[in-house]
Amino acid sequence: MSKQTLDKTAIRNAATVIVLRDRMENPAILMGQRGAKAAFMPNKFVFPGGAVDAADAAIPLATPLPRVCHERLEENAPSGMQTALAAAAIRELWEETGLVLGEPGHWPGEIPADWHSFANTGHVPSAEALQFVFRALTPPGRPRRFDARFFLVDADAIQSDLDDFTHACDELSHLQWIPLTEARRFDLPFITEVVLAEVAARADDPAPPQSVPFFRNSDEESRFLQLRGHPMPES
């Protein structure tokens, strides 16, 4: 996760990645444990993810997000946020697990500092395998608040060894593939449990969901909305 000095009271856009392995046989998800001294969700088992960096919006994606995901990400969000969220998801997955979601290729132009190690693998980030499946806004009163978009990705799209975490930073410990049926035995944040239910319900269905749940927390109320997107003009 980026360690930029920012206003910690502001709601930051964030991306989280749920990597699903062996989805048709014995589905498992990749999770790790946050540190005991972490300001946000200490000791909890979580999916890799983190806040969007300013440079993420200009990252050259080898392939764009699926059209339906692009549409739904646009709902109740700043214009042009889709590329930044997709790039942040890929970057955070690399930083926290060492797994590469991209295509072999050379980067055009200057490479942002946060992306040097990813680029050194010989890949350009690719977003076509990311499937937008959930959105959640951290409740008021927490030390940090995020507007998090959760992306599901099939492990077959990963370009690196699924069991090699040697390039991961120390943001998450105990990185492991957890059978989907056993995940709730771990110490999980509430919202992670909710997302797990969504993933379990569609583990054997690779098609995009009909709509995306949005758990919206505000000072007035907490409620679930459904993001369906809107038609985009044909290119």
pLDDT at 2: 45
pLDDT band per the 50, 70, 90 thresholds, residue 222: low
**Which residue matches tokens 């007035």?**
220
**pTM for the predicted model, two decimal places:** 0.89
Tens-place pLDDT, residues 125-155: 999 999 999 999 988 877 788 999 999 999 9
- Contact at 8 Å (CB) between 227 and 212? yes
Tens-place pLDDT, residues 20-71: 999 999 999 999 998 767 766 778 999 999 999 999 999 999 999 999 999 9
CA distance 127 to 84: 11
Average pLDDT (69-82) is: 86
All domains of the chain, ordered by start, with CATH?
14-227 (3.90.79.10)
Which three-class secondary structure string do you get for 8-57?
CCCEEEEEEEEEEECCCCCCEEEEEEECCCCCCCCCCEECCEEECCHHHH
- Average pLDDT value for the chain: 88
CA distance 146 to 92: 15
